[in-house]
């Protein structure tokens, strides 16, 4: 699905507006511009959650010649992988909170959630983003309660499909659950439980 061809047109069709032709600029078409803004804002909001296709763990961030670790602009969220490193994103660079400095003497491994261009997203994620953005556009421009319930149901079903797809990609099993792992690895009766 291409954003300017299909996603914007889907959002426009939900609010009963005229569709735009393929690759026609949307400048000056109010509803199309609003749909575009909502699709981008919705995409960013959803991608910030972190999914298998936009998350890297232990991504090595290397300081430049001045000791600064500049964070790429497409990084939505960044967190040092090591629990011993207390660094945050600040002024476009990694900032060491414990030592109150931007200067790093060595690389820092970080878990990074990346922004991804709409057209490069998995199709199932494009559909979910489009449906959610369409619902928001409808809510802001029209707001009929009966139609809203249909749009909300469509959005929830799309999210369910995305989560199922994510589980398939990640190969998640019941054994990945920390509570299950604790029970399976326990070799004695915990204190306080009489059995």
**What are 124-152's pLDDT values in tens digits?**
999 999 999 999 999 998 888 888 889 99
- Residues of 96-105 as b/e, b for ≥16 C-beta within 10 angstroms? beeeeebebe
Q: Say how many C-beta atoms besides its own lie within 10 A of residue 4's C-beta.
A: 19
Distances (CA, A) of 144 to 39, 52, 139, 152: 21, 36, 8, 12
In sequence order, the 6+-apart residues with CB closer than 8 A to the CB of 195 are: 189
* Over residues 88-106, mean pLDDT: 94
Angle between helices 30-47 and 123-141 (to 10 degrees): 130
- Reduced to 3 states (helix: H, G, I; strand: E, B; else coil), residue 70 is strand
Give 170's pLDDT tier (boundaries 50, 70, 90).
confident
**What are 60-84's pLDDT values in tens digits?**
999 999 999 999 999 999 999 987 8
Check pLDDT > 70 for residue 194: no
Q: Which residues pair with 59 in a beta bridge?
A: 110
Centroid of chain to Cα 71: 18
Q: In the 8-state DSSP scheme, what is residue 4?
A: I
- Reduced to 3 states (helix: H, G, I; strand: E, B; else coil), residue 130 is helix
CB contact at 8 A, 120 and 73: no
Structure-model confidence comparison of residues 108 and 190, the more confident one: 108
């Amino acid at each position: 699905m291409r954003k300017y061809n299909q996603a914007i047109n889907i959002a426009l069709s939900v609010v009963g507006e005229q569709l735009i032709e393929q690759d026609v600029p949307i400048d000056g078409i109010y509803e199309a511009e609003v749909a575009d803004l909502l699709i981008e804002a919705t995409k960013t909001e959803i991608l910030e959650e972190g999914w298998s296709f936009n998350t890297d763990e232990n991504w090595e961030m290397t300081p430049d010649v001045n000791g600064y670790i500049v964070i790429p602009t497409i990084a939505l969220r960044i967190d040092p992988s090591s629990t011993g490193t207390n660094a945050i994103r600040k002024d476009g660079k990694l900032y060491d909170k414990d030592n109150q400095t931007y200067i790093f003497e060595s690389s820092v491994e970080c878990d990074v959630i990346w922004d991804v261009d709409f057209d490069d997203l998995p199709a199932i994620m494009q559909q979910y983003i489009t449906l959610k953005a369409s619902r928001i556009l409808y809510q802001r421009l029209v707001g009929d309660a009966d139609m809203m319930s249909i749009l909300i149901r469509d959005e929830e079903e799309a999210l369910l499909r995305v989560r199922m797809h994510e589980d398939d990609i990640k190969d998640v099993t019941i054994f990945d659950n920390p509570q299950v792992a604790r029970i399976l690895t326990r070799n004695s009766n915990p204190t306080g439980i009489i059995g």
